[in-house]
Amino acid sequence: MLSADPGPPAPVAVPPTLTSLLAMTENTDGSDVEYAIGGQGLTGVERDMAAELLAEDAMQIRCGKSPVLARWRTRRRGGPPETGASGAAVKAYAGIGFGLPDAPANDDHLQGHVAELLWNRLIQERLVCRDRRRLVHAHSVKPDPLEPGGDGLVVYELDGGTLVFRLWEIKKHESRASRVSATIGRASKQLSSRGQEYLAKLAGPETVEQAGPLGEFYANIVELWLDGSDRAGAGVSVGTSAQYAPARPQAFGSIATAFPHFRQAGQRESIIVAVPDFPEFATRVREIVWSGL
> Regarding beta strands 163-173 and 152-157, do their DSSP bridges make them parallel or antiparallel, or are they unpaired?
antiparallel
Global confidence as pTM = 0.93
3-state secondary structure of 55: helix
Tens of pLDDT, residues 146-163: 887 778 999 999 999 999
Contact, 75 vs 61, CB < 8 A?
Answer: no
Tens of pLDDT, residues 215-239: 999 999 999 999 999 999 999 999 9
Q: What pLDDT tens digit does each residue of the chain (293 aa) get?
A: 445 555 566 555 667 999 999 999 999 998 999 999 999 999 999 999 999 999 999 999 999 999 999 999 999 999 999 999 999 999 999 999 999 999 999 999 999 999 999 999 999 999 999 999 999 999 999 998 888 777 899 999 999 999 999 999 999 998 887 899 999 999 999 999 999 999 999 888 888 888 899 999 999 999 999 999 999 999 999 999 999 999 999 999 999 999 999 999 899 999 999 999 999 999 999 999 999 99
The reported pLDDT for the residue numbered 70 is 97
Compute how many other C-beta atoms are within 10 angstroms of the C-beta atom of residue 144: 14
Q: Kindly state the DSSP code that residue 171 receives in the 8-state scheme.
A: E
Distance (Å, whole) CA 53 – CA 55: 6
Distance (Å, whole) CA 275 – CA 250: 21
Q: What are the strands, taking DSSP E only, across 121-258?
A: 134-138, 152-157, 163-173, 234-241
Candidates 238, 229, 165, 230; CA nearest to 198 is 165
Chain centroid, CA 122 distance in Å = 6
3-state secondary structure of 225: helix
3-state secondary structure of 268: strand
Candidates 93, 97, 96, 77; CA nearest to 85 is 93
Candidates 230, 227, 262; CA nearest to 32 is 262
Contact, 272 vs 172, CB < 8 A?
Answer: no
Sign of the CA dihedral running 206, 63, 134, 228: negative
State the Cα torsion 170-282-73-14 to the nearest 10°: -80
Tens of pLDDT, residues 108-136: 999 999 999 999 999 999 999 999 999 99
Phi/psi for 284 (5° steps) reads -65, -40
Candidates 245, 239, 247; CA nearest to 281 is 239
The reported pLDDT for the residue numbered 187 is 96
